[in-house]
Structure formats: C-alpha cells, structure tokens
Amino acid sequence: MSYIAPVHDGGDLHRRYLPLAFITGVASLLVAVAIQGTAIAVVTSFVRAVEAGPRGCLPTDFPTYPGAQLTGVSIDFGSPSGCSVENVVDARQSDVADYYTANLNTGGWQVTETDASSGDISFERTSDPSTYGRVQLSTRHAQTVVDIDLVRG
C-alpha cells in the first residue's frame, strides 16, 4: 500500500502569508524613514546651532557675553529636550559671572541660585519655569569657559 501526498498549488499559502509579508515590509520602511528622519533632524539642528554663533541652540533672548566664541554644542532630543553650549571669552571669570548674574535677571529670565565657589549660576524662564538651566564658569588658558546647559520642559 502506498500513500500519495496531496499536491498543493501554493494558493493557500500565498493568500495566508502575503498580508504578513506586506505588513512586515511597510513596518521596515517606516523604521528606515524614522531613522533617516532622526539623522536629518540631528544634522539640521547642529547646522542651525553652529550658524547661530555663540548662542548655539539657545533662545534668541538668552544673554550672550559680548565677544563669546562658540566652541561646542550638544543637543538632546529626549523628553525633556535641551542643549549644552560651550563658549570661551577673553575676560576675567568674575566679570563674566557679573554679566550673567545681571543679564539673567532681566527680560524673560531670572537667576534662581548662584554659587561663586563653583562658578555656577542657575536660572529659569520667568514665563515658563519648566525651561531652566545652569551657567558654569571655569578658566582655561587665561580665558573664561562658559558652559550653558538648558532644559526645555
């Protein structure tokens, strides 16, 4: 006695797995577009930050020490978002501290805390306290380094 296996034309398999293959393909395409979109957003934001000069990614109303030279920018796209900007200035650290203490208490900003021993000045936006940050001052090769960290809530 012999047994002959039934022969399938593949039609059932095609109908069963075609939608799954389509969904997998679309999902892969969406992931690729999302990755590419994120990469483009990162590059675009960096270019805008560099083009903005010493302000980097900071709001246009944020005070910038006169003559500051942009030396670094870091952008965080998480939640909350934010950025870090590093500038160097040819001025004494005490003069730069006085500038930021005075200018972050005008316009849309206010100083929330200062620590002269560490060179830290904490601030927040008066209209939106979920936007806040810190200016940290240090000295490098007779220049004052101004590190500004900003968080946008």
Output the tens digit of pLDDT for each of the chain's 153 residues: 555 545 545 555 455 555 665 676 666 666 655 566 555 655 555 555 455 444 568 888 999 999 999 999 888 877 778 899 999 999 999 999 999 999 999 989 999 999 988 889 999 999 999 999 999 999 999 999 999 999 987
In a domain, 20, yes or no: no
The DSSP H or E segment spanning 101 is helix 93-103
What is the value of pTM for the model shown? 0.65
What are the Cα distances from residue 36, in Å, to 27, 52, 83, 119?
14, 24, 21, 40
Which of 136, 131, 120, 115 is closest to 62 using CA atoms? 131
Backbone angles phi, psi at 40, to 5 degrees: -65, -40
Residue 133: domain span: 52-152
Number of structural domains in the chain? 1
Distance (Å, whole) CA 142 – CA 19? 67
| CATH code of residue 106 | 3.30.310
